[in-house]
Amino acid sequence: MLDFEAALARAEAETGVVPPEAVQPIVDCCRAELFDFQALGEAAVDSGNLAIPMVKALTALVKVKDGRASGYVHWGATSQDAIDTGLVLQLRPFLQALDHDLGLLCKALESLVKNHRDTVMVGRTWLQQALPVTFGLKAAGWLDAADRARDRLRSLQAVVLTLQFGGAAGTLAALGDQGLRVAAALAARLDLALPALPWHSQRDRIAEAGAALGLLIGTLGKIASDVTLCMQTEIGELLEPAGKGRGGSSTMPHKRNPVAAAAVLAAASRAPGLVATLLAAMPQQHERGLGNWHAEWTALPDLCRLAGGALARTLDTVRGLEVHGDRMAENLERTQGLILAEAVQMALGARLGRGPAHDLLETASRQALREGRHLRDVLRDIPAVAAALSAEDIDRLLDPKGYLGVTQDFIDRVLQRRS
Amino acid sequence: MLDFEAALARAEAETGVVPPEAVQPIVDCCRAELFDFQALGEAAVDSGNLAIPMVKALTALVKVKDGRASGYVHWGATSQDAIDTGLVLQLRPFLQALDHDLGLLCKALESLVKNHRDTVMVGRTWLQQALPVTFGLKAAGWLDAADRARDRLRSLQAVVLTLQFGGAAGTLAALGDQGLRVAAALAARLDLALPALPWHSQRDRIAEAGAALGLLIGTLGKIASDVTLCMQTEIGELLEPAGKGRGGSSTMPHKRNPVAAAAVLAAASRAPGLVATLLAAMPQQHERGLGNWHAEWTALPDLCRLAGGALARTLDTVRGLEVHGDRMAENLERTQGLILAEAVQMALGARLGRGPAHDLLETASRQALREGRHLRDVLRDIPAVAAALSAEDIDRLLDPKGYLGVTQDFIDRVLQRRS
Amino acid sequence: MLDFEAALARAEAETGVVPPEAVQPIVDCCRAELFDFQALGEAAVDSGNLAIPMVKALTALVKVKDGRASGYVHWGATSQDAIDTGLVLQLRPFLQALDHDLGLLCKALESLVKNHRDTVMVGRTWLQQALPVTFGLKAAGWLDAADRARDRLRSLQAVVLTLQFGGAAGTLAALGDQGLRVAAALAARLDLALPALPWHSQRDRIAEAGAALGLLIGTLGKIASDVTLCMQTEIGELLEPAGKGRGGSSTMPHKRNPVAAAAVLAAASRAPGLVATLLAAMPQQHERGLGNWHAEWTALPDLCRLAGGALARTLDTVRGLEVHGDRMAENLERTQGLILAEAVQMALGARLGRGPAHDLLETASRQALREGRHLRDVLRDIPAVAAALSAEDIDRLLDPKGYLGVTQDFIDRVLQRRS
Amino acid sequence: MLDFEAALARAEAETGVVPPEAVQPIVDCCRAELFDFQALGEAAVDSGNLAIPMVKALTALVKVKDGRASGYVHWGATSQDAIDTGLVLQLRPFLQALDHDLGLLCKALESLVKNHRDTVMVGRTWLQQALPVTFGLKAAGWLDAADRARDRLRSLQAVVLTLQFGGAAGTLAALGDQGLRVAAALAARLDLALPALPWHSQRDRIAEAGAALGLLIGTLGKIASDVTLCMQTEIGELLEPAGKGRGGSSTMPHKRNPVAAAAVLAAASRAPGLVATLLAAMPQQHERGLGNWHAEWTALPDLCRLAGGALARTLDTVRGLEVHGDRMAENLERTQGLILAEAVQMALGARLGRGPAHDLLETASRQALREGRHLRDVLRDIPAVAAALSAEDIDRLLDPKGYLGVTQDFIDRVLQRRS
């Protein structure tokens, strides 16, 4: 808000609206360390917002230096101008830092994809083993979504980094016919976009920022969900990076708790309600919202904190992720070949027709399950199968590495999109 | 879903994956009127989704025509491919219709702006009278936000109109090394974008669609909120279009209930929770979500219905809106000049300094309020004011039309952005 | 709504407000099958609610039978009286059916608890194996929460089954001084509570109903979450009941998809947003809400459907749940004794002090993990342990059945609370 | 959490589980001022929760005093026991303070009801003037709902003030067969209810607490909504209490901004999303949630803060509310009698039949509206009316005080419920 006030004084001097000599005394006082935050907070209870006591305190500070200049503090502006533009000015470095960290995350994910494009693991649907995939493919899905989240947040900058400056009712009346010139100069000084008109009670930019953060958090939550599921003791395919005191349990020395993922999933639990608050706050009354505008004041910062924290934790996890290819291989064998029944069925279908092949495999799979035998052995004993497929054929068909479809093409497409 | 199945058969024949003669029998059966929706719905309870019984029923229909072709129904695909792509194919005409109606709304709003750019009314903040604006400026704010909503939904099309085709675990394994060629042919046939890789458990596109609809509904809710507040009996500046049986009250013949606005505000109350559901559903497990994917099935269609309905009602309202300039003028006089105290203060400030001017006006305003007199009369009686401003000056300063700042510039900027 | 109108006519005749001969013609027409729902729905678009065209149609029907009686249809009432009381009258059988089904669920859970109070399985925290529990204890937690959900919904009946009858603005002015007598008679006829005053714009009862349903759905979601996690291929401890076409996968014949749990989890994903909508709708304007009241019309019925469906699916699952004690026993051995390190540590602590015991076990556990050996074997090789514990002691301490604490007491307490 | 640890040591000594001499050293160190909160917060990032570093720091503190006693810190407990019970111990004084303040609010509302039971004002539906009510009746609606909110929060205490104590997996295994005795002693010392079994992953009590707070906030939001609508410049019937610097606008000296109501409405905008988060967090995994439990840590405290703040602001507003009966009377005349058309219609209906009376009044009302005349004058000129009603009859019927139905009875019922 102080950056807004300082730039406003400069812009108004530049456009001849306030005397040039008023600028320096104002600018000199626009330093946060001169203000008593506790006192401002308390005064805001009665005034209804933080800008009113801030302007009052700023005016008092300037007055000490230069009585006349103090008359030009906040000239022609309204509280919401300072609050909204102040928010936007805080969003800028936040969004830049987020973009930077997202860049690092995408790079770390890219390494993961490249290192594990051939690390075969089981794909799971409905939490059930389905067909083989590679860990590189799973990570390529994470990367592809993280790239989209980054694009979305970059586009957002053009939308949300926009000056709010409208005066008491959005007409800049107090500046006479100079309002637009001042607004343009102010936007230029703050390096913000000049909107077609003030957006004091049109809050879609703010809600869109919240939605973009919610989408990022959801994407990070997907990674965290996969990691925690793969970290289960019974699965053990992935582990969050270890460290002294990290994720340990005071009573169970062998556990590796997914503490970073828990923080990310907590963010993913919190974000939807916060985005909903911002959307619900959109129908603001007339020329300034009442209650709904005020709800934004905590909801959007909460989302920023959650997004920043979730991203930092995810970056840390992805960089140090332990990938246990041995456990992945073991888990591929859990169903004793059943997850590759489809591979055999497709091969058999080409020779016997789809229907008979389907029925044969259904019978064989159930038998394997019932008798606790490997599907390979059951299949070999079925004459109709044996007539169509050799033992080597069956072995080959039941090798997970041989039934990955266009996994590598999909991975290439994700990587190429980035290069 | 049937369009997906028909296109899949064609794409697979085109790429040599299924025999060409299988296509026609399949395509011929992909007609909704051949299916028993009630039976499909009941079967979905056990199967867990609608695609399984649909594929079963389709296969049975094809079998009657051509036993061999029936073996190629849904070849290499999984239920989610049909469900997600089916959804996308339904979103396309919906988003196009929305864009069309939004175009009409923007046009109607543009007329409103042009017709009322000079219709002075009071601007209100905190639900209190603040300063004069024009109704054209208020409507320009609506228009500017509606334009952004339209841009956002247009951008969304490029994101969301994307093929989902990954087979059982996202590798298209059942199609061997032909998966990508089939996917490309299928995307081309359906005129959908081909994604870098399947998005079965990366749901940001869906959640982003929900958010964009939520943002549109919020923007429409803002219009509805303004309309209902301006329709209050005590304000009476706007009225929803009338019509036989419209908004009437059975017991109060004089009332004009804002029935369209109520429907829009109801949509604005429902939408945030639905968007939150979609965001919360993003961390889907492994290669297919469990429960969270299923939550999308009703949440997104609900949002579409609410958005479509809210837009239709808003369009109807804006086109037929009754604007009562006389009531606007009356309301500008409610405070007996107090809402223009700032105008006098600014003029006085130029002569006496900002501080003294502020104190003078504060005193005069309180006196006017206390004595129930017009601010003009109070000001005339104050010697310090009379010394600085003539009676004509005061009258001019207290004329709302004279204190509109850069209202016209702002309106022009919004209109120019469109031309 | 028709039940409301019929009872209103009777109550008003009983209190002498309308002539007794008006009753029968009105009551005779209050039958749903006489109405064209499609037409009512279409008329509601313009009228703003369903009660207005319903009253109009009812009046027309009565008029055919008895012109004079038609003048007493809906006498002294307002649309909201019919809509809100109509909703309450629909909630009654719904809440009774829910209570009935919850009774069945609790009974089914009680059987599960009793049958499996000694079925040892691993307890998991952070999705990591922690300590042994019994499946009976896990189910006792489900039962205890289901009991609370049932209590909560029973208490809700006293709150929500309340007459709404206030006339146009909540004063029953059209009934002169007879309003309260009519209200009491009407409440008695409908067997609803008579509130202190009408609640047309005080919606806490409705939002509380939504919250109670949301809490039930959350409790069912917890059961579904546990079931799906235990159904994972790698864990395999529980299976949803099977059935023809149930949970099968068209391409993976071996899978058992948790289709019922998915439906319950979908409900648990939808409910929070719907409850939020009802809470957000509470600040209704003056004597009747605008938009927020209307949002209730779909949000509460949606919650009812989700709760009813989720309960039916859970009941079905609990009744037919396959409990695989063998897999539970296998999983207890997955960590090769590590999950019982605490048991050894406590026993050792009693002899060596807590600190040294903790350090010893930490070292031993890490060694066991690193070397892939059973903790038993590692412990036996540590002199300090061997000095304090015999091989039999170690075996006993590493037996999951021996480290269940007061599991049985907890189970008894839950069962006793019910008897 | 420290109160939990101290009581745990005492309860365990009392039941003979830890040596009595370990108690005092532990209890002496359970003082918040001995801990470095910043350091605990930082350590929680790696440990995953605050209890782990707290227990570590507590143990270190005790060790300085008594090495042996330090071995009994947190004996048999798990982090969640300290965190959940710590939360419950914080909720107790919060709920008590809330109850106290709600008692004051209800008392203040009762005064408002009594003082204004005869202050006639217009009742409004759809934001349109409907029929007369009294301000006492409106306030009685507020009071009745506030009473219910208080009852709900009192019932909640019995539900939520419950010990959580289950050890690592909810079996209290580390305490052997003494777990239940320790739990009972601990509950008694902390004056908390002893649950049937631990509730570590059954979170309905927490979500119910959130819902009850959300319902309170919604009820306060309703009061705030009414106050802000009645404070509109054009209505001016109510004003928030004034005070130096309160609700003033720096640029508009005449405005009285509803700053307290804005804070309450902001809380009402935030609460639904937070309650939704708690409900969505209910399906916690197995024996401890992952991410969802963690989401509670900020969501419930946020709700507490919002509820406490909203209640304080509402109490302040209700106590100092300025009620402008003159403006209420003025507003009753705004429609020039139209809001009493129903009264005339009912009287006329008794003589001419309901249909003809309705048609007459509809015609007269439209004429009055069209010609800008008072309904009284229009009615007098209609022969059919004049034949049935004298001028005095018409005057009497158009007096708002005469058409209040059973307003006084409703008020009495609310007041009697409290005495």
- Among the residue ranges C237-251, C364-378, D83-97, the one predicted with the least confidence is C237-251
- C118 — phi, psi (to 5°)? -110, 5
> Where do we find the tokens 């059209």?
C174
Q: Under an 8 A CB cutoff, do D269 and A168 touch?
A: no
Instruction: List all chains that touch chain B, counting a touch as 3 or more CB pairs closer than 8 Å.
Output: A, C, D
Q: A79, A279, A285, A331: best mutation site toward chain B, by most B Cβ within 10 Å? A: A279
State residue A326's pLDDT score. 97
Q: Under an 8 A CB cutoff, do D176 and C405 touch?
A: yes
Residue D352 has pLDDT above 90, yes or no: no
How far is residue B29's CA from residue C61's CA, in Å, rounded to a whole number?
47
As a whole-number percent, the residues of chain C with pLDDT over 70 amount to 97
Is A209 within 8 Å of A300 (Cβ atoms)? Answer: yes
Residue A260 has pLDDT above 90, yes or no: yes
**CA C110, C114, C119, C120 torsion-angle sign:** positive
In chain B, residues 48-67 whose CB comes closer than 8 Å to chain C: 48, 52, 55
In angstroms, what separates the C-alpha of B231 from chain A's closest C-alpha? 12
pLDDT for D366-388, tens place per residue?
899 889 999 999 999 999 999 99
Instruction: List all chains that touch chain D, counting a touch as 3 or more CB pairs closer than 8 Å.
Output: A, B, C
Residue A403 has pLDDT above 80, yes or no: yes
State residue B253's pLDDT score. 59
Of C124, C254, C257, the CB nearest to A335: C254
> Where do we find the tokens 């949301």?
C214
Task: Give, in order, the Cα–Cα distances in Å from B128 to each of A17, B229, B232, D129, D177.
Answer: 29, 12, 14, 19, 68
Instruction: List all chains that touch chain A, counting a touch as 3 or more CB pairs closer than 8 Å.
Output: B, C, D
How far is residue A265's CA from residue A218's CA, in Å, rounded to a whole number?
9
In chain D, residues 151-170 whose CB comes closer than 8 Å to chain C: 152, 155, 159, 167-170
Residue C354 has pLDDT above 80, yes or no: no
How far is residue A214's CA from residue A306's CA, in Å, rounded to a whole number?
9
Of A127, A256, A339, the CB nearest to C128: A256
> What is the pairing mode between strands D120-125 and D128-134?
antiparallel
Chain D environment of B258 (Cβ under 8 Å)? 126-128
How far is residue D214's CA from residue D152's CA, in Å, rounded to a whole number?
11
Q: D269, D297, D300, D316: best mutation site toward chain A, by most A Cβ within 10 Å? A: D269
How far is residue D126's CA from residue B259's CA, in Å, rounded to a whole number?
8
Chain D environment of A78 (Cβ under 8 Å)? 250-251
**CA D73, D75, D77, D81 torsion-angle sign:** negative
Q: Which long-range contacts (CB under 8 A, 24 or more apart) does D357-363 make?
A: D360/D384, D360/D385, D361/B253, D362/B253
Tokens of B55: 């594929």
In angstroms, what separates the C-alpha of D116 from chain A's closest C-alpha? 27
Of B125, B131, B233, the CB nearest to D335: B233
Task: Check: pTM over 0.90? Answer yes or no.
Answer: yes
In the set A155, A249, A269, A390, the catalytic residue is: A249
How far is residue D337's CA from residue D399's CA, in Å, rounded to a whole number?
8
Which candidate, C297, C228, C298, places its Cα nearest to that of C259?
C228
How far is residue A88's CA from residue A279's CA, in Å, rounded to a whole number?
18
Residue B251 has pLDDT above 60, yes or no: no
Q: Under an 8 A CB cutoff, do A228 and D290 touch?
A: yes
Which candidate, D35, D25, D22, places its Cα nearest to that of D65?
D25
Tokens of B183: 């996917």
Is A185 within 8 Å of A14 (Cβ atoms)? Answer: yes
Mean pLDDT of chain B: 95
How far is residue A210's CA from residue B244's CA, in Å, rounded to a whole number?
42
How far is residue C307's CA from residue C267's CA, in Å, rounded to a whole number?
7
Of B43, B269, B291, the CB nearest to C291: B269
State residue D202's pLDDT score. 98
Which candidate, A256, A214, A259, places its Cα nearest to that of A233?
A256
In angstroms, what separates the C-alpha of B212 from chain A's closest C-alpha? 8
What mean pLDDT is predicted for residues A130-134?
Answer: 96
Q: Looking at residue A170, what DSSP letter applies?
A: T
* Contact D46/A at CB under 8 A: yes
In the set D111, D155, D249, D390, the catalytic residue is: D249
Q: B126, B148, B171: best mutation site toward chain A, by most A Cβ within 10 Å? A: B171
What mean pLDDT is predicted for residues A293-315?
Answer: 98
State residue C244's pLDDT score. 66
Task: Name B128's bridge partners.
Answer: B125
Q: Under an 8 A CB cutoff, do B177 and A405 touch?
A: yes
State residue D62's pLDDT score. 98
Task: Name D124's bridge partners.
Answer: D129
Chain A environment of B48 (Cβ under 8 Å)? 126
Q: Under an 8 A CB cutoff, do A258 and C126 touch?
A: yes
Chain C residue at shortest CA distance from A336? C254
Q: How far is CA D100 from the centre of its chain?
A: 13
In angstroms, what separates the C-alpha of C265 from chain A's closest C-alpha? 12
How far is residue D246's CA from residue D230's CA, in Å, rounded to a whole number?
18
Question: HSE on the CB side for A314, CA within 13 Å?
Answer: 36
Q: Does residue A189 carry a catalytic annotation?
A: no
Q: Identify the H or E element spanning C130.
A: strand C128-134
Mean pLDDT of chain A: 95
Is B70 within 8 Å of B5 (Cβ atoms)? Answer: no
Q: Looking at residue A4, what DSSP letter applies?
A: H
The number of residues in chain B equals 419
Residue A240 has pLDDT above 80, yes or no: yes
pLDDT for C176-195, tens place per residue?
999 999 999 999 999 999 99
* Contact B303/C at CB under 8 A: no
How far is residue A301's CA from residue C207's CA, in Å, rounded to a whole number?
28
Amino acid symbol at C254: H
* Contact A411/B at CB under 8 A: yes
How far is residue C123's CA from residue C134's CA, in Å, rounded to a whole number?
8
* Contact D356/A at CB under 8 A: no
Is C286 within 8 Å of C239 (Cβ atoms)? Answer: no
Q: C121, C124, C128, C332: best mutation site toward chain A, by most A Cβ within 10 Å? A: C128
Task: Give, in order, the Cα–Cα distances in Å from A165 to each of A182, A301, B399, D67.
Answer: 9, 21, 24, 65
* Contact A40/D at CB under 8 A: no
- Among the residue ranges A87-96, A212-221, B18-27, D355-364, the one predicted with the least confidence is D355-364
How far is residue C25's CA from residue C21's CA, in Å, rounded to a whole number?
8
| Cβ burial B152-190 (10 Å sphere, 16+ → b, else e) | bbeebbebbbbbbbbbbbbbbbbbbebbbbbbebbbebb
Chain C environment of A335 (Cβ under 8 Å)? 233, 254
How far is residue D89's CA from residue D76's CA, in Å, rounded to a whole number?
20
pLDDT for C241-286, tens place per residue?
987 666 665 556 567 899 999 999 999 999 999 999 999 999 999 9
Tokens of A364: 């064989």
- Residue D256's pLDDT band, with cuts at 50, 70 and 90, is confident
Is A94 within 8 Å of A304 (Cβ atoms)? Answer: yes
Question: HSE on the CB side for D102, CA within 13 Å?
Answer: 26
Tokens of C253: 């014949």
* Contact A279/D at CB under 8 A: no
Q: What percent of the residues of chain B are helix, what percent strand, and what percent coil, each to the nearest 5?
A: 70, 5, 25
Residue C311 has pLDDT above 90, yes or no: yes
In the set B249, B269, B334, B390, the catalytic residue is: B249
State residue A295's pLDDT score. 98
Mean pLDDT of chain D: 95
Q: Under an 8 A CB cutoff, do C271 and D279 touch?
A: yes
As a whole-number percent, the residues of chain C with pLDDT over 90 amount to 90
Secondary structure (DSSP) of B105-141: HHHHHHHHHHHTTT-EEEEEETTEEEEEEEHHHHHHH
Question: HSE on the CB side for C104, CA within 13 Å?
Answer: 14
State residue B153's pLDDT score. 98
Interface contacts (A, D; CB < 8 Å): 155
Residue B131 has pLDDT above 90, yes or no: yes
Chain D environment of C141 (Cβ under 8 Å)? 170, 197, 199, 201-202
State residue D248's pLDDT score. 62
Residues 6+ apart with CB under 8 A from A8: A74, A75, A77, A182, A186
Q: Is C30 helix (H, G, I), strand (E, B) or coil?
A: coil
Q: Does residue D288 carry a catalytic annotation?
A: yes
Chain B residue at shortest CA distance from A268? B280
Q: Under an 8 A CB cutoff, do A171 and B131 touch?
A: yes
The Cβ of residue A386 has, within 10 Å, a number of other Cβ atoms equal to 14
How far is residue D55's CA from residue D108's CA, in Å, rounded to a whole number?
46
Chain B residue at shortest CA distance from A275? B276
Is D171 within 8 Å of C404 (Cβ atoms)? Answer: yes
In the set C288, C305, C319, C327, the catalytic residue is: C288
Question: HSE on the CB side for C388, CA within 13 Å?
Answer: 18
Task: Name B14's bridge partners.
Answer: none
pLDDT for C140-172, tens place per residue?
999 999 999 999 999 999 999 999 999 999 999
